[in-house]
């Protein structure tokens, strides 16, 4: 009797699995290859926006039936007080839509600040009190994948295909050949400059520097003519801001921390002291120590400290997020008196451009964003995870429509089909320079997807810069010293 029941259950499972696979394939096929990444440009981004309709409830209903009854717990960094109202509205609209699509799935959701999320998650995992699903910053997940806390998760598990996501983003969730999450949103930075400062310094106000060598020259010219810093270098110790702004330069010159900039990185080759890396460090040294055309305060500055001089018209150019324009507009709106006129003038003269290239024409930028992950049941509070409810949530969150709306303010949809939605069209119409910042995405390179990446990027790279810029070491010595540290870390050791 038990055997017969078992066989029947097995048969039903196989049938269900087959049906689910077919549905998944059908759904995936509908999305795959809809966006042609080879044509990517500001014009292409505009041309495909608003050309396709998606129905998240229906599409995800094919992955997990809409009448499914269950429960899912979820941690993420949602909108907080300082975020614009539209971010709050979209967040609320998402949960309303999810509950309408899946009325029988109850949700236990916690919004945790960016700075607290990782530590809280680490602590929860040690106490087996983690949520079923978590969304982390782009490289936050690799540490947990390496430590065995995360469930393998690939696009096909929730009704999508690899073609629905940026290849660089998928790289960021792949650890030792296995996929442990899905990208929810991705963004890249761009070069921002003040056209008036360029003009006053005798530079072409509408054309940014094409190469990083040009940046060094432009920065020097601005400083010599106007007496203000030309390029907003950021080199603070122990700060994520520093590698986000220096690695694009390093990659463009043909360098890297490891071989993360190559097409098929092994993360075993140390490149932080190769000729390209040293050339990038030399360029930074030239601006900071020789020309003195970068802010003296660069060693204690994060990007936040560059905003004030930029809005005051005292900084020529810098690397910043897509949301920087909104931030500058906000700062200008709060300015008063004579400052107000200056700030408004800066906003009117603000320009966005692609990041410069290296001497060989290579353009690169850090691939930023967030990924969604599934925690293994044994580490989840209560020791159980509801697989179907988990899939429903991830499918819904990563749908073209919601992946776009939830990234409204400062990012872009992780699901690239989101670029075809009406929501994307609205964003392009309302967010200035979004077309430029999105067009950097194909140049995106994720940091090395190894658990040691935060130490390499946030500690060793800034240390190397500080050692060189302060003159504590020569450029060569600083790069070689950093290489020794990276080698020790990759080998599983490392000093203090």
Partner 1 sequence: MWNSRTDYLYVAPAIFVMLIVIGYPIYYTIELSFFNTPASLSLADKTFNGLDNYVTILTSPIFWKVTWQTVVWTTLSTFFAFVLGLGAALALNREFAGRGFLRGLLLIPWVVSAVAASYVWKWLYHSDFGVIGALMVQFGLTDHPINFIDNTTTSLYALIVVNVWKEFSFAMIMLMAGLQTVPDSLLRAAQVDGASAWQRFWHVTFPHLAGVSTVTVLLLAVQNFNSFIIPWVMTSGGPAGSSDIWITHIYQIAFGRQRWGVGAAYAVILFIVMMVLGYFYVRALTKGDESRAGA
In sequence order, the β-bridge partners of residue 67 are none
Q: Helices (DSSP H) in 253-386: which residue ranges?
A: 275-285, 303-311, 324-334, 337-348
Q: Which residues contact 196 (CB under 8 A, 6 or more apart)?
A: 205, 313, 345, 346, 349
Q: From the CB of 475, what's the least distance to partner 1, in Å?
A: 14
CA quadruple 265, 267, 268, 272: dihedral sign: positive
Burial of 11 (0-12, 13-18, 19+ CB in 10 A): exposed
Shortest Cβ 220–partner 1 spacing (Å): 17
C-beta of 119: minimal distance to partner 1 in Å? 8
Report in angstroms how near the CB of residue 326 gets to partner 1 at its nearest.
Answer: 23
| Among the listed residues 24, 66, 30, 42, the one whose alpha carbon sits nearest the alpha carbon of residue 432 | 42
CB of 301 to partner 1, least distance (A): 9
C-beta closer to partner 1: residue 123 or 430: 123
The CB-of-252 to partner 1 minimum distance in angstroms stands at 25
Instruction: Select 345 or 455, whichever has its Cβ closest to partner 1.
Output: 455
Smaller CB separation from partner 1, 372 or 465: 465
Q: What is the CA radius of gyration of the chain?
A: 24
SS3 at position 260: coil
Work out how close the CB of 148 gets to partner 1 at its nearest, in angstroms, rounded to a whole number.
6
Whichever of 346 and 364 has its CB closer to partner 1, that residue is 346
Which whole-number Å values give the CA distances from 364 to 211, 223, 264, 334, 443, in the listed order?
A: 11, 26, 16, 34, 5
Work out how close the CB of 131 gets to partner 1 at its nearest, in angstroms, rounded to a whole number.
17
Nearest alpha carbon to residue 219 among 235, 203, 238, 241: 203
Residues forming contacts to partner 1 in the complex (CB under 8 A) are: 119, 125-126, 143, 146-149, 229, 236-239, 295-300, 308-309, 314, 450-452, 454-455, 458-459, 462-463, 466-467, 469-470, 472, 492, 494-496
Q: Token pair 């204690």 is at which residue?
A: 300
Residue 49 burial (CB count, 10 A): 24
Q: Which is nearer to partner 1, 149 or 285 (CB)?
A: 149
Cα(107)–Cα(474) distance, integer angstroms:
55
- What is the distance between the alpha carbons of residues 5 and 71, in angstroms, rounded to a whole number? 28
Q: Which residues pair with 211 in a beta bridge?
A: 357
H and E: helices and strands count for the chain:
21, 12
Say which residues have a Cβ less than 8 Å from residue 450's Cβ, sequence separation at least 6: 142, 146, 175, 258, 267, 490
Nearer to partner 1, 14 or 472 (CB): 472
| Nearest distance in Å: CB 63, partner 1 | 31
Residue closer to partner 1 by CB (options 307, 411) is 307
Nearer to partner 1, 148 or 383 (CB): 148
45 versus 201: smaller Cβ distance to partner 1: 201
Query: Cβ 300 to partner 1, closest distance in Å?
Result: 6
Return d(Cα 87, Cα 205) in angstroms, integer: 33
Nearer to partner 1, 160 or 310 (CB): 310
Closer to partner 1 at the Cβ: 167 or 451? 451
- State the burial class of residue 122 (Cβ atoms within 10 Å of its Cβ: 0-12, 13-18, 19+): middle
The CB-of-250 to partner 1 minimum distance in angstroms stands at: 19
Asked if residue 364 lies in contact with residue 248, where contact means CB atoms within 8 angstroms, the answer is yes
Coil/strand/helix, residue 128 = coil
Q: Which CB sits closer to partner 1, 149 or 193? A: 149
Cα distances from 454 to residues 142, 144, 241, 489, 492, in angstroms, run: 10, 13, 12, 11, 14
Shortest Å, Cβ 150 to partner 1? 11
Q: Which CB, 306 or 357, lies closer to partner 1? A: 306
CB of 232 to partner 1, least distance (A): 11
Quick one: which of 133, 120, 15 has its CA closest to 74?
133
Q: How far lies 245's CA from each of 92, 143, 202, 341, 348, in Å? A: 33, 23, 26, 30, 24
């Amino acid at each position: 009797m038990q055997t017969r029941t078992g066989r029947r259950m097995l048969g039903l499972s196989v049938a269900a699995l087959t049906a689910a696979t077919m549905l998944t394939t059908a759904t995936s096929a509908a999305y795959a290859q809809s966006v042609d990444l080879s044509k990517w440009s500001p014009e292409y981004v505009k041309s495909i926006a608003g050309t396709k309709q998606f129905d998240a409830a229906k599409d995800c209903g094919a992955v997990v039936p809409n009448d499914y009854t269950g429960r899912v717990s979820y941690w993420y960094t949602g909108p907080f007080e300082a975020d614009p109202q539209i971010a709050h509205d979209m967040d609320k609209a998402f949960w309303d839509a999810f509950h309408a699509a899946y009325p029988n799935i109850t949700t236990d959701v916690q919004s945790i600040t960016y700075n607290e999320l990782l530590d809280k998650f680490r602590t929860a995992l040690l106490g087996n009190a983690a949520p079923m699903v978590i969304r982390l910053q782009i490289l936050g997940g690799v540490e947990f994948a390496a430590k065995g806390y995360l469930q393998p998760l690939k696009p096909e598990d929730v009704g999508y295909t690899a073609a629905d996501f940026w290849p660089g983003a998928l790289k960021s969730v792949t650890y030792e050949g296995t996929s442990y999450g899905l990208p929810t949103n991705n963004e890249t930075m761009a070069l921002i400059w003040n056209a008036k400062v360029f003009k006053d310094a005798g530079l072409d106000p509408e054309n940014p520097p094409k190469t990083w060598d040009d940046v060094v020259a432009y920065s020097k010219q601005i400083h010599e003519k106007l007496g203000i810093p030309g390029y907003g270098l950021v080199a603070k110790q122990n700060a994520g801001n520093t590698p986000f702004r220096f690695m694009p330069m390093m990659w463009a010159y043909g360098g890297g921390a490891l071989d993360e900039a190559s097409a098929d990185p092994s993360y075993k080759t140390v490149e932080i002291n190769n000729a390209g890396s040293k050339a990038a460090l030399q360029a930074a040294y030239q601006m900071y120590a020789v020309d003195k055309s970068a802010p003296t305060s660069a060693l204690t500055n994060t990007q936040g400290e560059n905003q004030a001089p930029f809005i005051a018209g005292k900084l020529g150019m810098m690397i910043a997020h897509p949301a920087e324009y909104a931030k500058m507009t906000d700062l200008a709106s709060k300015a008063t008196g004579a400052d107000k006129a200056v700030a408004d003038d800066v906003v009117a003269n603000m320009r966005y451009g692609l990041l410069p290239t290296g001497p060989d024409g290579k353009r690169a930028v850090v691939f930023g964003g967030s990924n969604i992950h599934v925690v293994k049941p044994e580490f989840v509070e209560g020791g159980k995870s509801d697989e179907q409810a988990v899939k429903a949530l991830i499918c819904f969150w990563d749908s073209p429509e919601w992946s776009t709306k939830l990234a409204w303010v400062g990012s872009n949809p992780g699901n690239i089909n989101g670029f075809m939605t009406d929501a994307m069209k609205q964003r392009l119409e309302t967010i200035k320079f979004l077309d430029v910042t999105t067009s950097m995405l194909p140049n995106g390179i994720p940091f090395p997807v190894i658990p040691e990446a935060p130490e390499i990027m946030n500690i060793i790279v800034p240390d190397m810069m500080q050692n060189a810029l302060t003159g504590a070491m020569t450029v060569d010595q600083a790069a070689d010293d950093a290489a020794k540290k990276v080698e020790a870390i990759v080998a599983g050791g490392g000093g203090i």
